[in-house]
């Protein structure tokens, strides 16, 4: 095929043909073979892989992800860490930061926190950042463009060599050309790519500026789509035969990938340097730094503007924790340890990146968690046809799920469910789950010769979820007429240590000793346990002899 134009501004004189970039949201634990293939493919044809642990980096190293990220990097692939930018809180969804803010400065602080966490956890194996949920409008006085330029420059200054991608999944105005190394401007189906494609109204200086993702593409149509993407100036392309709601959680068969690679010339990345600070004079001193509020893991700050400021750096305990544009005179800093004192100051950034004098220092002590628990004050209020469940989630998480459990362990043969551990080898069996505002029922079947049930849920209804301050309130369309909704698990993960909070305590029902089976309610549960656990098969953790 004919390669994309080689008339490149600012790039090497050698060719830059089309390459494959993959949003590889595939769990390396559930499908390690897919990652083995991704790592082995020719790096000149497949140059970019995106890692997404839990809508971001999480707060601790995941050894399964660490393995594939390291091996991919060693193979020459550029592995990008996934970071949400929430459409900057201005889309119809009005997304908020993990701390419940829609302020641009707070989005900047969270984005930078996630960028730094990727590198803190996975080091130089991370080759850059994939900024998802990009907002495609310039904004008044280019405020949204300037936001992305600022976090791009922060990323590249703080982590030299970082490659950056911004993904709105839609056309963007020309004001965005210099915001990131690459812009992902199409992310829809084959039918949309053929019949309702909307191009940008500008032509980039370098074709490696554009990335298109097209799903529901059959193998027989690969050459057609590659050729069309080439004509539309997309230097990067991802095709898959997978479908919504998540076309990124599987990898097409090897012959499919080979067909893509055969249709492309391959090339290398174009990685721009961070934008230089302007020569606008030395920055003045920040004054009136004030603590507005603080809680368990965050502090909200405000300050008065400094002269000639091009940005403001915020330091806690002597460490840079956020950097915001000069238009912002306040920010909320998250990711702080609970029950800990911090000394904070702010410096303006001036000509050539030189810092002005430090502001006055403020000291803040974050709140201590009650009994060390990140989730507290949880309860269920069942009614005949509905149930209200409440819980205070005191620190931010990426995902907060709700499970309804009904027994100790699962009857995998007759009524399989999802296991949630309350001790190392002990678990409850859940048949209902709420994630976001969707109610699911478990529909997995234990595979033959396996002891690991699949993650498989069917949507059955919606729920009302309200978040006010720390308090999550779920209103479920399930009540005592259909299921016991008094037994539940609040599961929280991402950005803080994974936690499962059980109500009631399932340890009271494990029936390992006679002392457990004393009250009428417990006797009812113990009778159930004896009937099930006396079955003689290797799925049972307990045996009949263990129950008195």
Range 415-444 average pLDDT: 93
**Residue 326 φ/ψ, nearest 5 degrees:** -65, -15
371-504 is classed CATH 2.60.40:
yes
88-94's contacts with Cβ under 8 Å and 24+ in sequence apart are 88/135, 88/144, 88/147, 90/135, 90/144, 91/135
pLDDT for 508: 82
| Cα–Cα distance measured from residue 98 to residue 81, given in angstroms and rounded to the nearest whole number | 18
**Taking 80 as the threshold, does the pLDDT of residue 358 lie above it?**
yes
The H-assigned helical ranges of 123-273 are 143-158, 190-195, 222-231, 254-262
DSSP code of 546?
G
**Taking 70 as the threshold, does the pLDDT of residue 268 lie above it?**
yes
Digit-coded pLDDT (tens) for 376-409 = 999 999 999 999 999 999 999 999 999 999 999 8
pLDDT for 254: 97
Provide the pLDDT confidence category of residue 44 given band limits of 50, 70 and 90. Answer: very high
pLDDT for 99: 93
**Taking 50 as the threshold, does the pLDDT of residue 134 lie above it?**
yes
Range 53-67 average pLDDT: 94
Task: Give the position of tokens 């399989």.
Answer: 416
Least confident among 53-67, 491-505, 534-548: 534-548
Provide the pLDDT confidence category of residue 536 given band limits of 50, 70 and 90. Answer: very low
Digit-coded pLDDT (tens) for 291-331 = 999 999 999 999 999 999 999 999 999 999 999 999 999 99
Digit-coded pLDDT (tens) for 450-479 = 767 888 999 999 999 999 999 999 999 999
| Cα–Cα distance measured from residue 153 to residue 299, given in angstroms and rounded to the nearest whole number | 25
Provide the pLDDT confidence category of residue 414 given band limits of 50, 70 and 90. Answer: confident
Structure tokens at 359: 């502001």
**Taking 90 as the threshold, does the pLDDT of residue 518 lie above it?**
no
| Cα–Cα distance measured from residue 465 to residue 215, given in angstroms and rounded to the nearest whole number | 31
pLDDT for 11: 41
The residue extents of the domains of the chain are 19-263, 287-365, 371-504, 512-536
CB atoms within 10 A of CB 257: 21
Claim: this prediction has a pTM higher than 0.95: no
Least confident among 118-132, 365-379, 510-524: 510-524
Provide the pLDDT confidence category of residue 6 given band limits of 50, 70 and 90. Answer: very low
Range 191-198 average pLDDT: 96
% of the chain surpassing 90 pLDDT: 81
Provide the pLDDT confidence category of residue 69 given band limits of 50, 70 and 90. Answer: very high
| Cα–Cα distance measured from residue 210 to residue 290, given in angstroms and rounded to the nearest whole number | 43
Provide the pLDDT confidence category of residue 280 given band limits of 50, 70 and 90. Answer: confident
**Are the folds of 19-263 and 287-365 the same?**
no
pLDDT for 293: 97
Taking every pair of Cα atoms in the chain, the longest distance, rounded to a whole number of angstroms, is: 82
Enumerate the β-bridge partners of residue 488.
Answer: 404, 503
| Cα–Cα distance measured from residue 215 to residue 426, given in angstroms and rounded to the nearest whole number | 41
% of the chain surpassing 70 pLDDT: 90
* Mean pLDDT across the chain: 89
**Residue 542 φ/ψ, nearest 5 degrees:** -95, 165
Least confident among 271-280, 329-338, 342-351, 367-376: 271-280
Query: Would you call 485 helix, strand, or coil by DSSP?
Result: coil
DSSP code of 5?
P
Q: Which one has a higher pLDDT value, 193 or 447?
A: 193
**Taking 80 as the threshold, does the pLDDT of residue 16 lie above it?**
no
pLDDT for 83: 98
**Taking 90 as the threshold, does the pLDDT of residue 257 lie above it?**
yes
DSSP code of 50?
E
**Is 455 in contact with 442 (CB distance < 8 Å)?**
no
**Is 332 in contact with 104 (CB distance < 8 Å)?**
no
Residue 50: Cβ-neighbour burial (10 angstroms; 0-12, 13-18, 19+)? buried
Provide the pLDDT confidence category of residue 412 given band limits of 50, 70 and 90. Answer: confident
Provide the pLDDT confidence category of residue 234 given band limits of 50, 70 and 90. Answer: very high
CATH T-level topology, domain 287-365: Immunoglobulin-like (2.60.40)
Contacts of residue 515, defined as CB under 8 A and 6 or more positions apart, other chains included, come to none
Three state DSSP letters for 423-466: CCCCEEEEEEEEECCEEEEECCCCCCCCCCCCCCEEEEEECEEE
Enumerate the β-bridge partners of residue 30.
Answer: none
Architecture field, domain 19-263:
Alpha-Beta Barrel (3.20)
**Taking 50 as the threshold, does the pLDDT of residue 523 lie above it?**
no
Enumerate the β-bridge partners of residue 349.
Answer: 311, 355
pLDDT for 521: 41
Contacts of residue 123, defined as CB under 8 A and 6 or more positions apart, other chains included, come to none
Least confident among 247-256, 362-371, 413-422: 413-422
Q: How far is CA 53 from each of CA 35, 114, 160, 288, 495, rounded to the nearest angstrom? A: 14, 12, 23, 39, 11
| Cα–Cα distance measured from residue 114 to residue 134, given in angstroms and rounded to the nearest whole number | 15
Structure tokens at 105: 């400065």
**Is 374 in contact with 497 (CB distance < 8 Å)?**
yes
Q: Which one has a higher pLDDT value, 523 or 397?
A: 397
Range 55-60 average pLDDT: 92
**Is 369 in contact with 392 (CB distance < 8 Å)?**
no
Angle between helix 104-122 and helix 143-158 axes, rounded to 10 deg: 20
pLDDT for 543: 26
DSSP code of 53?
S
pLDDT for 3: 36
| Cα–Cα distance measured from residue 495 to residue 528, given in angstroms and rounded to the nearest whole number | 38
First to last CA, the chain: 75
Task: Give the position of tokens 């004054």.
Answer: 287
Where are the strands (E) in 205-335, listed by range? 210-215, 236-239, 287-294, 299-304, 311-316, 319-325, 330-333
Range 425-443 average pLDDT: 95
Contacts of residue 460, defined as CB under 8 A and 6 or more positions apart, other chains included, come to 439, 440, 441
Provide the pLDDT confidence category of residue 203 given band limits of 50, 70 and 90. Answer: very high
């Amino acid at each position: 095929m004919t390669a994309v134009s080689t008339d490149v501004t600012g790039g090497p004189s050698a060719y830059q043909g089309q390459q494959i970039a993959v949003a590889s949201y595939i769990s390396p634990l559930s499908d390690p073979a897919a990652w083995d293939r991704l790592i082995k493919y020719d790096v000149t044809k497949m140059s970019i892989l995106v890692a997404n642990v839990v809508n971001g980096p999480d707060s601790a190293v995941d050894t399964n992800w660490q393995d594939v990220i390291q091996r991919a990097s060693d193979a020459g692939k550029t592995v990008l860490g996934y970071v949400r930018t929430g459409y900057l809180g201005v889309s119809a969804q009005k997304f908020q930061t993990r701390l419940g803010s829609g302020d641009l400065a707070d989005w900047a602080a969270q984005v930078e926190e996630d960028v730094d966490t990727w590198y803190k956890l996975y080091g130089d194996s991370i080759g850059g950042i994939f900024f998802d949920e990009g907002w495609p409008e310039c904004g008044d006085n280019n405020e949204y463009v300037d936001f992305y330029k600022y976090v791009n420059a922060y990323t590249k200054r703080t982590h030299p060599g970082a490659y950056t991608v911004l993904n709105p999944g839609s056309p963007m105005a020309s004001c965005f050309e210099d915001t990131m190394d690459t812009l992902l401007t199409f992310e829809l189906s084959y039918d949309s790519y053929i019949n309702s494609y909307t191009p940008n109204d500008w032509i980039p200086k370098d074709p490696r500026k554009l990335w298109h993702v097209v799903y529901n593409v059959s193998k027989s149509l690969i050459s057609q789509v590659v050729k069309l993407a080439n004509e539309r100036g997309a230097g990067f392309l991802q095709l898959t035969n997978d479908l919504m709601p998540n076309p990124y959680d599987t990898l097409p068969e090897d012959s499919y990938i080979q067909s893509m690679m055969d249709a492309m010339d391959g090339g290398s990345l174009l990685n721009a340097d961070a934008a230089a600070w302007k020569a606008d004079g030395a920055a003045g001193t920040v004054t009136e730094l004030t603590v507005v509020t603080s809680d368990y893991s965050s502090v909200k700050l405000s300050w008065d503007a400094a002269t000639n400021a091009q940005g403001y750096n915020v330091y806690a305990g002597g460490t840079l924790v956020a950097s915001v544009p000069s238009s912002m005179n306040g920010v909320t800093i998250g990711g702080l340890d609970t029950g800990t004192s911090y000394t904070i100051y702010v410096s303006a950034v001036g000509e050539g990146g030189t810092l002005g004098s430090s502001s006055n220092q403020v000291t803040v002590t974050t709140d201590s968690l009650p009994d060390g628990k990140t989730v507290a004050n949880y309860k269920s209020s069942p009614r005949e046809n509905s149930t209200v469940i409440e819980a205070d989630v005191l620190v931010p998480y990426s995902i907060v799920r709700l499970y309804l459990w009904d027994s100790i362990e699962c009857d995998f043969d007759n009524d399989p469910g999802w296991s949630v551990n309350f001790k190392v080898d002990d678990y409850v069996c859940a048949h209902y789950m709420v994630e976001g505002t969707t109610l699911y029922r478990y529909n997995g079947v234990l595979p033959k010769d396996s002891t690991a049930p699949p993650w498989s849920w069917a949507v059955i209804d919606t729920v009302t979820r309200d978040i006010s301050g720390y308090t999550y309130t779920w209103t479920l369309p399930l009540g005592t007429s259909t299921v016991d909704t008094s037994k539940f698990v609040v599961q929280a993960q991402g950005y803080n240590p994974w936690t499962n909070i059980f109500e009631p305590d399932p340890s009271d029902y494990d029936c390992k000793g006679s002392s457990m089976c004393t009250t009428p309610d417990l006797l009812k549960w113990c009778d159930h346990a004896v009937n099930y656990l006396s079955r003689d098969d290797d799925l049972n953790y307990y045996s009949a002899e263990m129950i008195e």
